[in-house]
Structure formats: structure tokens, C-alpha cells
């Protein structure tokens, strides 16, 4: 059969047979082409090429369907992961907002505490300054009083020294010695 097909193909392709004539003649090229086409289709059918092509197309369709299913599954998985990340992002943003709010509250509390501590420190320093002023006033009053006493004693001593004579001075000395003697015994 194969040899016949080759012979038919070689003789049909020869330019000597390309002449016109009746249709069912080997000299008619249209008939030769028709025979070659029918022979080609017969060979394809004998070797079951259409079923092989159909099988390959069915396999390719199944592969495409499987790839589409896999792509769909991957898409759904990606959407689930995206939703998970968006949820985590939202939770993280909420947590960050809570942290910022807590930090603001803490900062306000620390500022209020610092203000209160500063006020107490100012009050303590003011009280200490007032105590120092009072102590300085008391010391100044004491110094003035002592100076006044010293001036008065000196003035009195000068006046007594000018007005006193030797006998009066001896009497005062004797009286002071007697007084000291009485207090010591």
C-alpha cells in the first residue's frame, strides 16, 4: 500500500501528466490531486490520527482545565492571605493608635506630676527662704540689741567713772565681792 501511494504521488506530480483531458484520467491534475487528498485522508484514518489528535486535544483541554483550577485555587488562597494581612494591618493600626493614646495620657500625667512636683519644690524653697529671712531678722535684731547694750554699758561706765570717786568705787567693789561670796557658799 505504501509503495502504491508513493508511486501515485510520484506519477501524479510529474509535469507530463499535467495535461488536460477527461476528469477521471491520470492525466488530469485535478483528479490526481483529488486522489492524493483521498489517499492522504485514508492514511490518516488508517493510523487513527484523528483520534490521536482528539486525544491530544482532550489532554491539552484537561491540562488547561487543571491549570485554571490551580490558578483559581491560588487566587482564592492569595485573597485569603490578603484578607489576613489586611486584618493584621488593621489590628496593628488599632494597637498603634492605642499605644499613641496611652503615650499621650502618660505624657499628660507626667506633665501634671512634674508641675505638681515643681510647685511643691517652689513652696519648699519659698518656705526655706522665709525661714532664712526670719532667722536673719532675729540675728540682726539680736546683734542690734547686743550693740545697743554694749553702747549703753560703755556709756553707763563712762558716766559712772566720771561721777564716781575712789571711796564709792571701793564700796561697790566690796559689795560685789560680798555678793559673789554669798552666791558661791
Residues spanned by the domain of 27:
1-47
- pLDDT tens-digit map of 28-84: 889 999 999 999 999 999 999 999 999 999 999 999 999 999 999 999 999 999 999
Domain assignment present for residue 41? The answer is yes
Q: Could you give the dihedral angle defined by the CA atoms of residues 10, 13, 17 and 22, in that order, rounded to the nearest 10 degrees?
A: 110
Cα 3 from Cα 116, distance rounded (Å): 115
In the chain, DSSP finds a helix count (H) and a strand count (E) of 4, 0
Domain assignment present for residue 12? The answer is yes
Domain assignment present for residue 37? The answer is yes
The structural domain count of the chain equals 1
Q: Which three cell numbers stand for residue 88?
A: 493584621
Domain assignment present for residue 31? The answer is yes
Contact 12, 26 (CB under 8 A): yes
Domain assignment present for residue 100? The answer is no
Domain assignment present for residue 72? The answer is no
Domain assignment present for residue 27? The answer is yes
**pTM (2 decimals)?**
0.39
Reduced to 3 states, what is the DSSP secondary structure of residue 119?
A: helix
- pLDDT tens-digit map of 105-163: 999 999 999 999 999 999 999 999 999 999 999 899 888 888 888 888 888 777 777 77
Contact 44, 50 (CB under 8 A): yes
Domain assignment present for residue 29? The answer is yes
- pLDDT for 143 equals 87
Cβ-based neighbours of 24, under 8 Å, separated by 6 or more = 31
Amino acid at each position: 500500500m505504501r509503495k502504491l501511494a508513493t508511486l501515485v504521488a510520484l506519477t501524479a506530480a510529474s509535469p507530463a501528466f499535467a495535461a488536460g483531458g477527461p476528469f477521471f484520467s491520470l492525466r488530469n491534475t485535478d483528479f490526481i490531486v483529488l486522489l492524493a487528498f483521498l489517499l492522504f485522508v485514508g492514511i490518516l484514518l488508517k493510523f487513527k490520527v484523528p483520534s490521536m489528535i482528539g486525544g491530544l486535544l482532550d489532554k491539552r483541554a484537561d491540562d488547561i482545565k487543571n491549570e485554571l483550577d490551580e490558578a483559581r485555587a491560588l487566587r482564592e488562597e492569595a485573597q485569603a492571605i490578603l484578607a489576613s494581612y489586611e486584618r493584621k494591618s488593621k489590628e496593628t493600626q488599632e494597637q498603634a493608635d492605642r499605644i499613641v493614646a496611652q503615650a499621650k495620657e502618660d505624657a499628660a500625667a507626667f506633665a501634671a506630676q512634674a508641675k505638681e512636683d515643681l510647685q511643691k519644690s517652689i513652696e519648699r524653697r519659698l518656705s526655706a527662704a522665709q525661714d532664712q529671712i526670719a532667722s536673719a531678722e532675729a540675728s540682726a535684731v539680736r546683734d542690734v540689741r547686743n550693740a545697743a547694750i554694749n553702747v549703753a554699758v560703755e556709756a553707763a561706765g563712762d558716766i559712772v567713772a566720771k561721777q564716781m570717786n575712789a571711796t564709792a568705787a571701793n564700796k561697790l567693789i566690796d559689795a560685789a565681792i560680798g555678793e559673789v561670796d554669798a552666791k558661791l557658799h
